[in-house]
Structure 1
Amino acid sequence: MALQTSHEAYDLLAIVGGDGSIPGVASGLYERKKLGKMPLPLWIVPLGIANVLARELKIPRRLKKILTIFSQKPDHVRFVRHFSKAKRGKSFFFKWQVRVLDAETVANVSYRLKKSLGGIAYLIALLKLLKAPLPLVHIHLKHKNISENFQASCAIFSRGSLYGGPFCIAKNQHPSSKETHLILFQASGKIAFSLSVLGAFLPFPFLKKELFLKKIEPETECHFLGHSAVQADGDLKGKLPALLTCAPFPLTFLH
Structure 2
Amino acid sequence: MTLSKRRLVIIHNPTSGMRNKSRFSKALLRLADTDCEVEILKTMGPGHATEMTRELVARNDPDIVLVAAGGDGTVLEILNGLDGGELPLGVIPLGTANVLAREIGVGASIEKAIKVLATALPVPVYAARANEKRFLLMAGAGYDSLTVAALRPGEKKRFSAFAYVFAAFRAAPGFRDMELEVSVEGKHYVAASAVISKARYYGGPFVIAADGGIEKPRFDVVLLKNAGFIAAFRYGMALLFNRLSRLPDVETLTTDQEISIKSSKIFPCQCDGDICLETPLRISLDLTPIRILRATGE
Q: Please give the range of the TM-score, normalised by the shorter of the 2 chains.
A: 0.7 to 0.9
Classify 1:54/1:199 alpha carbon distance in 2 versus 1 (closer, same or farther; 3 Å): same
Match of 2:270 in 1: 231
Residues 140-187 of structure 1, C-alpha deviations (whole Å, 9 max, x = no match): 224xxxx01112111101111111111111112121112211111012
Does 2:195 align with 1:156? yes
> Residue 67 of structure 1 corresponds to which residue in structure 2?
114
SS of the aligned residue for 1:31 comes to coil
Aligned CA distance change for structure 1 residues 44 and 148 (closer, same or farther; 3 Å): same
Distance between the aligned counterparts of 1:95 and 1:129, measured in 2? 23
Deviations 1:23-61 (A, max 9, x none): 2222222233xxxxxx12112112111110011111254
Residue 90 of structure 2 aligns with which residue?
A: 43
| Equivalent residue number for residue 36 of structure 1 | none
Question: RMSD of aligned C-alpha atoms?
Answer: 2.3
**3-state SS of 2:238 partner:** helix
> What SS does the corresponding residue of 2:84 show, helix, strand or coil?
helix
CA distance 1:62–1:112, shift in 2 (3 Å)? closer
* Aligned pairs for 1:158-237 within 5 A: 158-203=197-242, 208-217=247-256, 220-226=257-263, 227-237=266-276
Q: Choose the corresponding residue for 2:180, options 137, 140, 143.
A: 137
Unmatched 5+ stretches in structure 2: 1-51
Where does 1:21-100 land on structure 2 (aligned, <5 Å)? 21-32=74-85, 39-59=86-106, 61-69=108-116, 70-83=118-131, 90-100=132-142
1:103 aligns with 2:151: no
Paired residue type of 1:41: P
Distance 1:114 1:252, change over 3 A: closer
In 1: Cα distance, 2:283 partner to 2:244 partner: 30
Percent of pairs with identical residues: 24
CA distance in 2, matches of 1:112, 1:49: 12
Q: How many aligned residue pairs are there?
A: 237
Aligned residues of 2:235 and 2:244 also touching (Cα < 8 A): no
**TM-score under structure 2 normalisation?**
0.72
Are the aligned partners of 1:77 and 1:250 in contact in 2 as well (CA < 8 Å)?
A: yes
For 1:201 and 1:112, the matched residues in 2 are separated by 25
**Which of the pair has the greater relative contact order for Cα pairs under 8 Å at 6+ separation?**
1
For residues 110 and 29 of structure 1, what CA distance do their matches in structure 2 show?
29
Question: Is the 8 Å Cα contact of residues 206 and 242 (structure 2) preserved in structure 1?
Answer: no
| Structure 1: 5+ residue stretches without partners | 33-38, 84-89
**Separation in structure 1 between the aligned mates of residue 198 and residue 244 of structure 2, nearest angstrom:** 23
Q: Tell me how far 1:21 sits from its aligned partner.
A: 1.4
2:54 maps to 3
Q: What is the TM-score with the length of structure 1 in the denominator?
A: 0.83
Query: SS of 2:227's equivalent?
Result: coil
Q: Which residue of 1 aligns with 2:22?
A: none
Residue identity in the other structure for 1:137: L
Distance 1:100 1:128 in 2: 14
Aligned to 2:13: none
Query: For the Cα contact (< 8 Å) 1:196–1:210, is it kept in 2?
Result: no
Following TM superposition, by how much is the alpha carbon of 1:210 offset from its aligned partner in structure 2, in angstroms? 0.5
1:201-233 deviation line (CA, Å, top 9, x unaligned): 43558961111111111xx11111121111111
Superposition deviation, residue 106 in structure 1: 1.1
